[in-house]
Amino acid sequence: MPKLRVDGKEIETKQGTTLLQGCLDNDIYIPNLCFLESMEDPSASCRMCFVEIEGEKQPITSCTVNVKDDMVVKTDTPAVRQLQRTALRLLLSVHHVDCKHCPANKKCELQRIAKFLKVGLKPKGLERYLQETEIDRNHPFINHYPNRCVLCGKCVHICRRQHGQSVWTFAQRGFDTVISAYGEAGASSLTCGKCDACVKICPVGALTFKDVQEDG
């Protein structure tokens, strides 16, 4: 089993796992939003999980490197923190922060990261850009809240893994990118009634069952 040195501490990890997973397994927290262990090819889209590795010139996303024996890693350098804080601020600038009315309140990954990085949930200095649609009700059982979604892609991944195909997909592009179940209303009623994988995996409160909460 590979032995690594992370923040001055010796750790042992599984063979062939990602650095991010190896650290998490050893109770070393690295902020992350878009990674799941079952992903073959992590999209590394949230830009949260940066670390510095000895021998590498620049900070690197820990979900895209595999552990190696004798790796020396730092998870809390100034450069790493700056990248993470910027990524978080950008996410929050397109986020409708209203935790009181959000089912994810207190178990939300975004709240956790903000606390960890000591960034307020309403940081100043960036213009706020919200989607027009507050609630997308197209799906027969599940409501989607684009302004809470961090576009991590976990719902798409988990649905595909469970059912071979995903009801959810990324649609549009750039600032307008959203998660959508377009046209799957009929098909999804077959599986979605019995499955809650996407609602459970969502790190924020962007997917909710219709009967649980309709407001907010």
- Name the residues that contact ligand FES, by CB under 6 A: 32-35, 44, 46-49, 61, 63
**Min separation Cβ 170 and another protein, Å:** 5
Q: Are 23 and 37 in contact (CB under 8 A)?
A: no
- 25 near ligand SF4, judged by CB under 6 A: no
Q: How is the chain split among helix, strand and coil, in percent rounded to 5? A: 30, 15, 55
**Min separation Cβ 48 and ligand FES, Å:** 5
91 closest CA partner among 112, 74, 105, 107: 112
User: Which residue in this structure is represented by tokens 């992590």?
Assistant: 42
User: Segment 46-105, which members bind ligand SF4 (CB under 6 A)?
Assistant: 95, 97-99, 102, 104-105
Which lies closer to another protein via its Cβ, residue 182 or residue 209? 182
**Min separation Cβ 203 and another protein, Å:** 21
Q: Are 108 and 96 in contact (CB under 8 A)?
A: no
Torsion 113-201-212-178 (CA) sign:
positive
Q: Which whole-number Å values give the CA distances from 169 to 120, 152, 154, in the listed order?
A: 30, 11, 10
Q: Pick from 158, 169, 192, 207: which binds another protein (CB under 8 A)?
A: 169
- 157 near ligand SF4, judged by CB under 6 A: no
**Min separation Cβ 25 and ligand SF4, Å:** 22
Q: Which two tokens stand for residue 41?
A: 């090819």
Q: Which two tokens stand for residue 90?
A: 């950008």
**Min separation Cβ 171 and another protein, Å:** 5
For residue 61, the partner it binds in ligand SF4, another protein, ligand FES, none, with Cβ less than 5 to 8 A by kind, is ligand FES
Site size toward ligand SF4, by CB under 6 A? 27
Which lies closer to ligand SF4 via its Cβ, residue 53 or residue 92? 92
- 165 near another protein, judged by CB under 8 A: yes
The CA distance from 145 to 158, in Å, is: 18
Q: Which two tokens stand for residue 71?
A: 């790796």
- 162 near another protein, judged by CB under 8 A: no
Report which residue type is found at 128. R
- The residue ranges that bind another protein (CB under 8 A) are 165-173, 180-184, 187
